[in-house]
Amino acid sequence: MAPLPTDPYCQLTITGRIAEAPSFDAERLQRVCDDALREAGHEAAALTVELVDDSRSAELHVDHFNDPEPTDVMTFPDGGVDPEIGCVHLGDLAVGIDVARRMAVERHGSEQRAGEELELYILHGLLHLLGYDDIEPDLRATMWQRQHELMARVGIDIGDA
């Protein structure tokens, strides 16, 4: 359970089914999360990401959201200060690795882009923790526009995600 690159603005800790996860670019993910946090005017903070398979995703989804289907990302806010690192722990994300693979094929025609899907899901969860919402159409448009901007900045076109 080691943090990613040294001295990040968004202290990411990624756990779970890492060996089974699609390959993703940790430095690019770090940059996207750092940018999102800074540009939201938030102080440096920590975020924990658990990579989960469909079985675990469905279990968490039914337990916390009364929906038995696996999903892309679930957000669990915290907001307390992490005494080990001395900054706010925004919360935890459960990110579906199997969902990322399926959506990469559906959206891009190839599982090769599943790592980009994972990065998008982590950004999406982080934006929820920063106060963005996607329930109402106009709020969803604002959130998705922000995702497009941040991902495009690191060279990822998320299409109609």
Q: What is the DSSP string of 21-43?
A: SPP--HHHHHHHHHHHHHHTTPP
Q: What is the pLDDT along the chain (161 residues), one digit of tens a residue?
A: 344 444 689 999 999 999 999 999 999 999 999 999 999 999 999 999 999 999 999 999 999 999 999 999 999 999 999 888 889 999 999 999 999 999 999 988 889 999 999 999 999 999 999 999 999 999 999 999 999 999 999 999 887 65
pLDDT of residue 7: 62
Residue 96 near residue 124 (C-beta atoms within 8 A): no
Report which of 15, 28, 57 is spatially closest to residue 156, judged by C-alpha positions. 28
| Topology at the third CATH level for domain 10-153 | Collagenase (Catalytic Domain) (3.40.390)
Domain boundaries, the chain: 10-153
pTM (2 d.p.)? 0.92
Residue with token string 């089974």 = 20
